[in-house]
Structure 1
Amino acid sequence: MAVSGGPAKPPGRRVRLSAPPPTIPDPPPVRPEPTGSAAGPRTTGRTIVIFKTETPKTEIRSTLNRLAGINELVTSADAGGNAAALAALDDAKAVHFERLGIAILDKQDALPGLMAAAAGAGGPIMTVEPEYIAHLCSQGGLSRDYLKGFRDAAARLYDEAGNGDAAPAASAAPAGPLAFADTAQFTWGLQATGASVSRFTGRGAKVAILDTGVDLQHRDFLGRLNNNSSFVENVETVQDIHGHGTHCVGTACGSARPATGVRRYGVAPDAQIYVAKVFNDAPRPEALTADVIAALEWAVENGCHVASLSLGVAIDQEIEQYREPIRRALLAGTLVIAAAGNNANRPGLPGFDSRYPATNGFVEAPANASDAMAVAAVDAQLRLAAFSSRSSRVTGAGGIVNVAAPGVNVFSSVPTALGTHAALDGTSMATPHVAGIAALWHRATGLTGAALWAKVVQSVRPLDIASADVGSGLVQAP
């Protein structure tokens, strides 16, 4: 669900629970927010300053003092970590994340002077931007507020849950070479990507999931959640109350034999899990750029080979506050994989909602950053999902879709309080599939960074769908 000023996601997407759904009031139809980037993404009132590579700390301090009146600058190293640095922002008025070269200022009145300095030649500032707020790239969550928009799906699920096994994919066709379905052993996504038959498990690969956190008490992850950090103000734990993050962690790195006894749903079951909580615990979670960048730097410093970002800012252009940190992360060996977005509504495709305007959408930030791997969503018949965003660079702006992955009726973990497991739709669900596949390729080849990017993209299964929609094709395991 969108929390930005950009396009909202049409309600009514399928949410499938592993237990009978709660009684849900029948609300009136919810009209979407204004579509397109013209409405503008939401901002925080803070300022992001991106410095040129290898600018000395002393020059950064003097520049911020001279142009913005900043007398005290806290660095992630000085504060003893990125989370601590963010906590010090109110007192210090500025925080510098040294590894990625980004400073966050708790003020916006210095923006004109900083922008003028960025426009000049020879200075240390690369660019200056307002701090944006990101939203989740799933078609709804599992809290009561989200479920109100999914009455029809919940009613259907009540019947499907009665057999105690996986519900068939809503878009499933009769069995054939291009049709997949969950089995007692594997989700359809693991089968479609070849992860179910791969001899690699991701052992030795480090995968960071930047999201709403994870259920620390979930039986399927016991003993594997030791590398966690919350980057959200006044939130000390990564405990997930929303469900989105737990679902993404499960898809990327869920166990080969889940303790709960369900089918396998994790692509890289032996990968090391690094959980970064970047979304707050609001009913419609929000993630500030500062929190996302702090978490990304944390992932880089911990040697993570892959970072999965199922989040988006509804803006149809590259923004430097994501583009440059992602570029620097890739150079450091961390491949950033991001959800293309759910702002499309495609006639003739599964999931099209005739109540809302037809649109191809656009690739959102940070997925539209040139060094992020942007992921589209397909269903179990390998058809493009109606909500999956199209490459916007074909119209001269934004970014391109690089690959596709399973993103419809994806079964994975959710917090125990929300049902233990559920099937969700969205490019959010496709993205951790790719993160897990990248972890398998790292284990198989030892590749990192740009070389790992190339291996993932070159090893796809071609699809009979325009490359503007699915990039090079469906990701495949080694």
Structure 2
Amino acid sequence: MTSPDERGPRTGATGRTIVVLDEREGSAPDVLGRLGVSCVSARDVRRGGAGDGSVGTAGIGDPVPPGSAVVLDALGIAILADAPPVVAEAAADPGARGVVTAEPEVWVHTFPATPAPAPGTTFADTALATWGLIATGVATDEGRGSTAFDGAGVLVAVLDTGIDERHPDLAGRVRLARSFVAGEAVQDGNGHGTHVAGTIGGPASPVGGQRRYGVAPGCDLLIGKVLGDAGSGTSGGVLEGMNWAIEQGAHVISMSLGSAVAEGEGPLRYYEAAARAALRAGTLIIAAAGNDGDQPVGSPANCPSVLAVAALDHQLVRAEFSCIAINGDGGELNLAAPGVGIYSAFPLAQDSYATLDGTSMATPHVSGLAALAVQAAGVRGQDLWNHLVAHARPLTQGENLVGRGLAVVPLVSA
């Protein structure tokens, strides 16, 4: 999918700083207060479009006040407007000052991809089900469910460009929605977020007789708008969404977003700290590997504590755009899922349905399957990760291209 922003996505650092705090040294206000930085909790800051009821800060176009920080309480992380020298000094001596790391906030974006059609496909959509559901064992060619589980009682957070709240297939499915983008409501003006949410939780019987495309039609959705309608956002905004989703009790956080990583470059430590906090809280973060082809897995999927997803074509072969496992230290791939020619919901103003390509499309397949596993096996956090990987179907390509293999409907017992 091509971003509506004709200038292309912004890259690099935003100018703000993100710090990971050692909470053993005291609360965030205590630690940062000793460094002369005032604090406010993310719960107390409002943002988003007019009348949206949204919360958050540190996103697009809404800077943190100079000399202050917004604290993400569930993560033990703070976002600073700037980085006083004393903060960098504290990061160099974390045991003494309570600051573990201090790294720049970076821009993140959706992952666009335009691959060539695969010749002689093995799987294809039918009139009643998408090929992704058929390949992963969720549905038969006739659209019938292949499992008794539908994700009921499971809460999946989608951190993306929002959702079309008026789409009839998704009506009543959103438990809570918040925008973390300054001046923009949750309503999806891009389409990417609606498409991702549809793959995760689209209905078993879509309105108007459309083919089934949702993996876990019984799950509830948390919608965190962390990317603007142009498809871009910041890592600080993503962290805010993660913090909020954990506080809401999400079982799974699905993130079809990120930024490019250079060969030999390690993960951002604040993302890894956040992912570890999520696992401790029983929340599994699943992220797209990226669409830069023969380049390293992108960020934040390159974190050791984030489950990274590669994209497969109709022949269950790694899609040519899907990033590969070049870097270690979390830069591995964990699972693969259908990511070419994926049909799902789209905003009503943009024809209601669309067929897209990308690791962004593979990731929600795995997130939906994770919801089924939570319901079926009662697993959460690291146990959920282990369950999904243990039941993956091996593929002909190596782990550097497709991880442990195709994610499929999980068995009841772990």
Q: 1:118 to 1:377 in 2, by over 3 A?
A: same
- The answer (yes or no) to whether the contact 1:74–1:89 under 8 Å persists in 2 is no
Partner of 1:294: 240
CA distance in 2: counterparts of 1:389 and 1:77, whole angstroms: 35
Q: 1:422 to 1:273 in 2, by over 3 A?
A: same
Is 1:213 the counterpart of 2:162? The answer is yes
CA distance in 2: counterparts of 1:454 and 1:172, whole angstroms: 34
Partner of 1:167: none
CA distance in 1: counterparts of 2:400 and 2:119, whole angstroms: 24
Partner of 1:61: 29
CA distance in 2: counterparts of 1:312 and 1:99, whole angstroms: 21
- The answer (yes or no) to whether the contact 1:400–1:471 under 8 Å persists in 2 is yes
CA distance in 2: counterparts of 1:127 and 1:91, whole angstroms: 20
- The answer (yes or no) to whether the contact 1:392–1:398 under 8 Å persists in 2 is no
Deviation at 1:98, TM superposition (A): 1.1
CA distance in 2: counterparts of 1:91 and 1:413, whole angstroms: 41
CA distance in 2: counterparts of 1:41 and 1:52, whole angstroms: 29
Deviation at 1:313, TM superposition (A): 1.5
Q: Which runs of 5+ in 1 are unaligned?
A: 4-26, 34-39, 141-149, 154-169, 345-359
**Which of the residues 448, 459, 462 maps onto 2:380?**
448
- State TM-score, norm by structure 1: 0.77
CA distance in 1: counterparts of 2:337 and 2:106, whole angstroms: 27
Is 1:93 the counterpart of 2:68? The answer is yes
**Which of the residues 8, 11, 14 maps onto 1:44?**
14
CA distance in 2: counterparts of 1:213 and 1:98, whole angstroms: 23
Deviation at 1:191, TM superposition (A): 0.4
- The answer (yes or no) to whether the contact 2:43–2:55 under 8 Å persists in 1 is no
Q: 1:121 to 1:271 in 2, by over 3 A?
A: closer
Q: 1:331 to 1:201 in 2, by over 3 A?
A: same
CA distance in 1: counterparts of 2:402 and 2:66, whole angstroms: 46
Is 1:314 the counterpart of 2:260? The answer is yes
Is 1:272 the counterpart of 2:220? The answer is yes
Is 1:411 the counterpart of 2:383? The answer is no
Which residues of 2 match residues 64-83 of structure 1 at below 5 A?
64-67=32-35, 69-70=36-37, 72-79=38-45, 83=55
Q: 1:121 to 1:303 in 2, by over 3 A?
A: closer
- State TM-score, norm by structure 2: 0.88
- Give CA-to-partner distance per residue, 1:235-283, whole Å, 9 cap, x none: 2x2100111000000001111111132000000000001111001123x
Partner of 2:296: 362
**Which of the residues 86, 91, 105 maps onto 1:113?**
86
Deviation at 1:99, TM superposition (A): 1.0
Partner of 1:347: none
- The answer (yes or no) to whether the contact 1:412–1:422 under 8 Å persists in 2 is yes
CA distance in 1: counterparts of 2:205 and 2:358, whole angstroms: 25
- The answer (yes or no) to whether the contact 2:15–2:105 under 8 Å persists in 1 is yes
CA distance in 1: counterparts of 2:63 and 2:92, whole angstroms: 29
Partner of 2:189: 241
CA distance in 2: counterparts of 1:55 and 1:470, whole angstroms: 41
Matched AA of 2:135: A
Partner of 1:16: none
Which range moved further: 43-52 or 428-437?
43-52
CA distance in 2: counterparts of 1:362 and 1:121, whole angstroms: 30
**Which of the residues 178, 182, 201 maps onto 2:125?**
182
Partner of 1:200: 149
Q: Report which of the two structures shows the higher radius of gyration computed on alpha carbons.
A: 1
- The answer (yes or no) to whether the contact 1:96–1:103 under 8 Å persists in 2 is yes
Matched AA of 1:368: N
- The answer (yes or no) to whether the contact 2:394–2:406 under 8 Å persists in 1 is yes
Partner of 2:326: 392
Larger helix share, 1 or 2: 1
- The answer (yes or no) to whether the contact 2:56–2:179 under 8 Å persists in 1 is no
- The answer (yes or no) to whether the contact 1:248–1:429 under 8 Å persists in 2 is yes
Q: Which runs of 5+ in 2 are unaligned?
A: 48-53, 140-145
Matched AA of 1:288: T
Matched AA of 2:71: H
Is 1:281 the counterpart of 2:232? The answer is no
Partner of 1:339: 288
CA distance in 1: counterparts of 2:187 and 2:339, whole angstroms: 24
Partner of 1:136: 110
- The answer (yes or no) to whether the contact 1:183–1:263 under 8 Å persists in 2 is yes
SS of the aligned residue for 1:311 comes to coil
Moved segments of 4+, more than 6 Å:
none
SS of the aligned residue for 1:308 comes to strand
Which range moved further: 316-325 or 300-309?
316-325
Matched AA of 1:276: G
CA distance in 2: counterparts of 1:88 and 1:440, whole angstroms: 39
Matched AA of 1:292: V
Q: 1:53 to 1:194 in 2, by over 3 A?
A: farther
- The answer (yes or no) to whether the contact 1:51–1:101 under 8 Å persists in 2 is yes
Partner of 2:50: none
Deviation at 1:223, TM superposition (A): 1.8
Is 1:102 the counterpart of 2:90? The answer is no
Identity between Structure 1 and Structure 2 (%): 43
Matched AA of 2:14: T
SS of the aligned residue for 1:198 comes to coil
- Give CA-to-partner distance per residue, 1:183-213, whole Å, 9 cap, x none: 1111000000011112210011110000000
Matched AA of 2:134: Q
Is 1:462 the counterpart of 2:408? The answer is no
- The answer (yes or no) to whether the contact 1:363–1:398 under 8 Å persists in 2 is no
**Which of the residues 424, 428, 436 maps onto 2:360?**
428
- Give CA-to-partner distance per residue, 1:421-451, whole Å, 9 cap, x none: 1111100000000000000000101100000
Partner of 1:125: 99
CA distance in 2: counterparts of 1:300 and 1:436, whole angstroms: 18
SS of the aligned residue for 1:137 comes to coil
User: What RMSD in Å do the two structures reach over aligned CA positions?
Assistant: 2.5
Deviation at 1:52, TM superposition (A): 1.9
Deviation at 1:56, TM superposition (A): 2.2
- Give CA-to-partner distance per residue, 1:435-474, whole Å, 9 cap, x none: 0000000010110000000000011110000111111000
Deviation at 1:76, TM superposition (A): 2.9
- The answer (yes or no) to whether the contact 2:339–2:359 under 8 Å persists in 1 is yes
- Equivalenced residue count is 389
CA distance in 2: counterparts of 1:48 and 1:257, whole angstroms: 44
